Amino acid sequence: MLGRFGPGVGTQVVAVVYHQPNRNMATLKAISIRLKSVKNIQKITQSMKMVSAAKYTRAERDLKAARPYGEGAVQFYERAEVTPPEDDPKQLFVAMTSDRGLCGAVHTGVSKVIRNRLSEPGAENIKVICVGDKSRGILQRLYGKHIISVANEIGRLPPTFLDASQLATAILTSGYEFGSGKIIYNKFKSVVSYAQSDLPLYTKKSIESASKLTAYDSLDSDVLQSYTEFSLASLLFYALKEGACSEQSSRMTAMDNASKNAGEMIDKLTLTFNRTRQAVITRELIEIISGAAALD
């Protein structure tokens, strides 16, 4: 019947009839590709966990040395009973995060505290300084108008006092005259836990009008000015150290969980791979045996 139409049609019909590949063989290859990629991912997350464990030990040691800076500054404010001024509603929030991700909920925790405060009424007087690209990314969509400064290159290296001084100088020269402020950071509690906390920022005016300032002697305007600047830098330094320590411990936990999940996926995939392999072998055997039986 095909001969009536000539040889051209015949070749076309032959070309259309192709050999359907065995479905189980194709999925076997797909499973092995998936298995290889999940194994690579597990290796990567395990090595990231080791790296952040090393960085965490160093960060915890640095934090122990940096605690006196933060606690001393806070103690001064408490003993002198400094309060934010009632007549100046302008506030400054500093979001202490970093540039690097894959570290659990550290950045979203800090940004959530600021977001909740900014969504409440009376938020026009609050300006934000984002330390670290992560908080900038989270806040810039809805609250971009509140951001007055962004600091980069945080998180790659351990923070130094010079970093904190640069931030403090940026705050002092930003041109934004705030009455009081807060540094929102992650306070390190233990290897597995951290929590958002805040440190107060005051201006020289609030300190001068503090009730119990007379508890400290030999204070004049110059000394108070210098001390305000220095305590700003030391509070920022302390918050940077605490944030770095919380971030490394959180990254360690996150990468450990990721490795465990990858391990579970590998187990499940290995089982399906073996089952598929056995099914392929059985199918081939059936074909061979039924082919042999047909010859009889």
151 binds another protein (CB under 8 A): yes
166 binds another protein (CB under 8 A): yes
150 binds another protein (CB under 8 A): yes
| CB-based contacts of 148, cutoff 8 Å, min separation 6 | 127, 128, 129, 174, 176
Considering beta carbons, is residue 42 or 203 the nearer one to another protein? 203
Maximum C-alpha span of the chain: 116
Considering beta carbons, is residue 216 or 230 the nearer one to another protein? 230
| Binding track over 66-95 against another protein, x by CB under 8 A | ------------------------------
220 binds another protein (CB under 8 A): no
Considering beta carbons, is residue 118 or 147 the nearer one to another protein? 147
Among the listed residues 198, 208, 229, 256, the single contact to another protein using CB under 8 A: 229
Nearest to 243 by CA among 142, 95, 115: 95
Nearest to 110 by CA among 89, 96, 124, 91: 96
Which of these ranges, 34-42, 162-170, 188-196, 210-218, lies near another protein under the rule CB under 8 A? Answer: 162-170
Strands 180-190 vs 193-202: parallel, antiparallel or unpaired: antiparallel
Among the listed residues 140, 197, 253, 261, the single contact to another protein using CB under 8 A: 140
Question: Whats the size of the chain, residue-wise?
Answer: 296
Which of these ranges, 31-39, 152-160, 186-194, 255-263, lies near another protein under the rule CB under 8 A? Answer: 152-160
Per CB under 8 A, contacts with another protein among 167-186 are 167-170, 172, 174
What is the smallest separation between the CB atom of 168 and another protein, expressed in angstroms? 6
- CB under 8 Å, gap of 24 or more: what pairs does 191-199 form? 191/56, 191/249, 191/252, 191/253, 192/249, 192/253, 194/106, 194/246, 194/249, 194/250, 196/109, 196/110, 196/112, 196/113, 198/113, 199/70, 199/73, 199/74, 199/235, 199/238, 199/239
Which of these ranges, 8-16, 70-78, 149-157, 197-205, lies near another protein under the rule CB under 8 A? Answer: 149-157
Query: Exposure of 273 by Cβ count < 10 A (0-12 exposed, 13-18 middle, 19+ buried)?
Result: middle
Which stretches of the chain bind another protein, using CB under 8 A? 140, 144-145, 147-154, 156-157, 160-163, 165-170, 172, 174, 222, 225-227, 229-230, 232-233
